[in-house]
Amino acid sequence: MKPIYLDHMSTTPIDPRVRELMIAYLGGAESNTFGNANSPHYYGYEAKNAIELAREKVASLVHCDPLGIVWTSGATEANNLAIKGIANFYQRQGRHIITSTIEHKSVIECCQYLATQGFEISYLKPSSDGLIDPMQLEKLIRRDTILISLMHANNEIGTIQKIEKIGAIAQARGVLFHVDAAQSAGKIPLDLKKWPIDLMSFSAHKIYGPKGIGALYIRTNPRLHLVPLLHGGTQENSRRAGTLATHQIVGMGEAFSIAQRQMHEDGLRQQYLIEKLKNALNDIGNVSINGSTKHRLPHNLNLSFADLDHELLVGALKDLAISTTSACYASPSHVRTNQKSYVLKAIGLGDDLINNSLRISIGRFTTEAEMEQVIFHLKQTVASLRKNHEK
């Protein structure tokens, strides 16, 4: 029997409707869609039309100009393109960048690389509930600050940052603002028409689409410039060279379209299932929730079991496919345990609680019956471990 999948913040299973549409664009010579979207003939036009429709679908979910959507291989590339691209283009105006200590590795390591190139990086520290104080951020802004890069929703503890307020501060001070929205797109509303955000990163596989495709929103009015990461072609208005993967892009577009139609319904159902689990924690006892209990994604819980041995806990939960850390820095396994979470450390947890933490994230296809099994398994496992510990 397969373990119950509770690791949707790592990746999501592809939605059958997405898979079906992608297959239609994986045709051979008998199909109309195998052409290179840059080719000036019928087959190229067919591929290009499919790509532009997908671009409109992505833009529709986040309420932005479709011309601002640039295809990438995923959110990691989008984050690199945003941060390095802006830094390299605007470095004559300044070489100071602000980010936080709880960002995704693709942001933190990108900033660490820029530090070796003469840029100065300031790291915001979150509060104990995982939230960034906008006033603290404002104090860090200097005359040479060119970019602020923060994630919308954290990939480990699920906390949601006040990006509207932060964006307003950045705009007022003339600083560009990049947001990593890989975890929030399709889970909570995003509105780039109203919010003062200059760049935003997206990923398909966090939202029931295929792996290997993502996008970066780049503000179009007034136009924003950046230095591309890849050279060798004029694709994406010379912002990202390379032949476009039509089937991947079509899949991402459909995943975003489905999310737009189902986001509210999915969120309510997942919140209901998470509340069932939270109520069960009262029976389990001696369990703490990491991160804000109010400002968080509806499908995530990050838990610490204070009195349980880490190795025994994760080993006993073999029937649950869960993580203890972000998959970006953990080894492959049904429970990933090899490195401590820098996110939990940043919000003030000690090694004992970090070691005994679990990240539980459910999804569109998680059933109530599965959640009841999860609760039963957790209760039984924890009770058994505590009983053995007392002996």
* Three-class DSSP labels, the chain: CCCEECECCCCCCCCHHHHHHHHHCCCCCCCCCCCCCCCCCHHHHHHHHHHHHHHHHHHHHHCCCHHHEEEECCHHHHHHHHHHHHHHHHCCCCCEEEEECCCCHHHHHHHHHHHHCCCEEEEECCCCCCCCCHHHHHHHCCCCEEEEEEECECCCCCEECCHHHHHHHHHHCCCEEEEECCCCECCECCCCCCCCCCEEEEECCCCCCCCCCEEEEECECCECCCCCCCCCCCHHHHCCCCCCCHHHHHHHHHHHHHHHHHHHHHHHHHHHHHHHHHHHHHHHCCEEECCCCCCECCCEEEEEECCCCHHHHHHHCCCEEEECCCHHHCCCCCEECCCCCHHHHHCCCCHHHHHCEEEEECCCCCCHHHHHHHHHHHHHHHHHHHHHHHC
| Percent above pLDDT 70 for the chain | 95
Task: Lowest mean pLDDT of 207-221, 241-255, 261-275, 376-390, name the range.
Answer: 376-390
- Higher pLDDT: 325 or 116? It is 116
The CA distance from 340 to 325, in Å, is: 7
**Overall average pLDDT of the 332-355 stretch:** 78
Q: Confirm if 270 and 363 have CB atoms less than 8 A apart.
A: yes
pLDDT reported for residue 332: 43
**Which range has the worst mean pLDDT, 9-18, 304-313, 364-373?**
304-313
The four Cα atoms 202, 205, 210, 215 give a dihedral, to 10 degrees, of 10
pLDDT value for 184: 98
pLDDT value of position 313? 81
pLDDT for residue 327 is more than 60: no
Can you give the pLDDT at residue 326? Answer: 52
Minimum mean pLDDT range among 90-99, 131-140, 257-266, 303-312:
303-312
* CA 213 to each of CA 77, 203, 210, 254, 328: distance values in angstroms, whole numbers, following the listed order: 9, 7, 7, 12, 16
What was the pLDDT predicted at 368? 97
- pLDDT mean over 130-151: 97
Contacts of 362 (CB under 8 A, 6+ apart): 6, 8, 270, 273, 274, 299, 371
Q: Answer with the residue of higher pLDDT: 327 or 190.
A: 190
Instruction: Examine the pLDDT at 329 and tell me if it is beyond 80.
Output: no
Give Cα separations from 52 to 11, 20, 56, 90 (angstroms): 25, 19, 6, 29
* CA triple 70-142-192, angle to 5 deg: 30
- The overall average pLDDT reported for the chain is 93
- What pLDDT does residue 318 have? 86
Residues 288-305, mean pLDDT to the nearest whole number: 95
pLDDT at 334 over 60: no
Mean pLDDT of 191-207: 98
Strand partners, 185: 188
Question: End-to-end distance of the chain based on CA atoms, in angstroms?
Answer: 32
In this structure, of 15-24, 128-137, 258-267, 302-311, the range with the lowest mean pLDDT score is: 302-311
Residue 336 pLDDT exceeds 60? no
- The predicted pLDDT at position 389 comes to 67
Q: Which residues contact 148 (CB under 8 A, 6 or more apart)?
A: 97, 98, 99, 137, 141, 166, 170, 175, 176, 177, 178
For residue range 349-381, what is the model confidence (pLDDT) as tens digits? 999 899 889 999 999 999 999 999 999 999 999
For residue 328, pLDDT over 60 is answered with no
Q: What pLDDT is attached to residue 391?
A: 58
Q: Which of 25-29, 65-69, 75-79 has the lowest mean pLDDT?
A: 25-29
- Number of Cβ within 10 Å of residue 13's Cβ equals 14
20-29, 46-55, 115-124, 153-162: which has the minimum mean pLDDT? 20-29
pTM of the model: 0.94
36 within 8 A of 273, measured Cβ to Cβ: no
Alpha-carbon span 55 to 250, nearest angstrom: 9
**If we measure between CA atoms, which residue out of 313, 338, 314 comes closest to residue 328?**
338
Query: Residue 256: which of 314, 297, 213 has the closest Cα?
Result: 213
Task: Please say if the pLDDT value at position 333 is more than 70.
Answer: no
The predicted pLDDT at position 156 comes to: 96
pLDDT at 138 exceeding the cut of 50: yes
Residues above pLDDT 90, as percent of the chain: 80
**Mean pLDDT on 108-132:** 98
Residue 49: per-residue pLDDT? 95
Checking if the pLDDT of 139 tops 70, the result is: yes
Positions annotated as catalytic residues are 328
Q: Residue 95 forms beta bridges with which residues?
A: none
**Closest C-alpha among 223, 204, 219 to residue 77:** 204
Region 242-252: mean pLDDT is: 96
Residue 15 has pLDDT above 80, yes or no: yes
